[in-house]
Amino acid sequence: MLQEFKTFIAQGNVLDLAVGVVIGAAFGKITTSLVEDIINPILGILIGGVDFTQLKIVLKEAVDKTPEVSIKYGNFLQTLIQFLIIAWVIFLIVKVANRLRLSEKKPV
């Protein structure tokens, strides 16, 4: 069973997936920083100094020790912006990879 596991792990697909997961995690951190530290402050200034993470609709105010109930749509907007940036970059990477693949297939 141990030998079978070693063979499975040594396959190219598993190693490619592992590398992809590690790079994806690092890319996620870069994208999060881009959105939180660069894009959101600029957008905040453009819409009047609003901090996206503070945008919310309060459904019920806090009373004594009971916390408020609110819809925090600012966090959702921030996550949506991050997703759109990641999706756009992945689209561009796939587009470049397809273009390179097509140029390799053309006879010289």
Note the pLDDT tens digit of each residue in 40-81.
788 778 878 777 788 899 999 999 999 999 999 988 888 888
Q: So what's the pLDDT on residue 70? A: 94
Structure tokens at 7: 């063979």
Residue pair 24/87 in contact (Cβ under 8 Å)? The answer is no
Q: So what's the pLDDT on residue 106? A: 66
Structure tokens at 85: 């940036």
Whether 90 shows a pLDDT value over 70: the answer reads yes
- More confident position, 14 or 26: 26
Burial class for 105, CB neighbours closer than 10 Å (0-12, 13-18, 19+):
exposed
Among residues 44, 43, 68, the alpha carbon closest in space to that of 57 is found at: 68
Residue pair 52/43 in contact (Cβ under 8 Å)? The answer is yes
Whether 107 shows a pLDDT value over 70: the answer reads no
The answer, as to whether pTM is greater than 0.75, is no
